[in-house]
């Protein structure tokens, strides 16, 4: 079997970071998970269209609904973070700018995910 790496690549010891396939599959798995979770959210919104605040609080306070909403939050935020990371890596060319954008993406995703999760937990726990 011949080595496909260039002599310069062999000398530098650079190559694949071995994360591309994992990133690809995580993006696909979260996309698949988002389908039924988002359908649940849409159906819940349609069923409760026009409901008053107390009804919605009672519905979202149900532990089963809370778990589904937390799963949706986690899956959607993680999917968003992965997708934005690909956009950043593809379209931002300066290394410092790219690093700053990836850090900002991670911070933003974590902040939104925690805020949404705390809101759901407050409704479920009371």
In terms of CATH architecture, what is 16-125? Answer: Up-down Bundle (1.20)
Averaged pLDDT, 90-102: 94
pLDDT in tens, 59-92: 999 999 999 999 999 999 999 999 999 999 999 9
Query: Helix H segments across 16-94?
Result: 20-47, 53-60, 63-91
Q: What is the pTM of this model?
A: 0.81
**Which pLDDT does position 2 carry in this prediction?**
59
How far apart are the C-alpha atoms of 126 and 122, rounded to whole Å? 5
2: helix, strand or coil: coil
C-beta of residue 82 within 8 angstroms of C-beta of residue 23 = yes
Q: Would you tell me how many other CB atoms lie within 10 Å of the CB of residue 65?
A: 18
Instruction: Match 């009371």 to its residue by tokens.
Output: 126
Q: Where are the domains of the chain?
A: 16-125
Q: Is the predicted pLDDT of residue 13 greater than 80, yes or no?
A: no
**Which pLDDT does position 83 carry in this prediction?**
95
Going 97 to 103 to 106 to 108, the CA torsion angle's sign is negative
């Amino acid at each position: 079997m011949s080595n496909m790496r260039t002599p310069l690549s062999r000398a530098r010891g650079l190559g694949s970071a071995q994360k591309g396939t994992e990133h690809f599959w995580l993006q696909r798995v979260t996309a698949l998970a988002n389908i039924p979770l988002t359908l649940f959210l849409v159906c819940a919104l349609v069923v409760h269209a026009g409901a008053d605040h107390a009804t919605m609080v009672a519905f979202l306070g149900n532990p089963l609904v809370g778990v589904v909403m937390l799963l949706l939050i986690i899956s959607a935020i993680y999917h968003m973070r992965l997708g934005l990371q690909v956009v950043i890596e593809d379209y931002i060319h300066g290394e410092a700018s790219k690093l700053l954008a990836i850090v900002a993406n991670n911070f933003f995703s974590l902040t939104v995910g925690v805020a949404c999760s705390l809101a759901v937990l407050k409704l479920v726990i009371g």
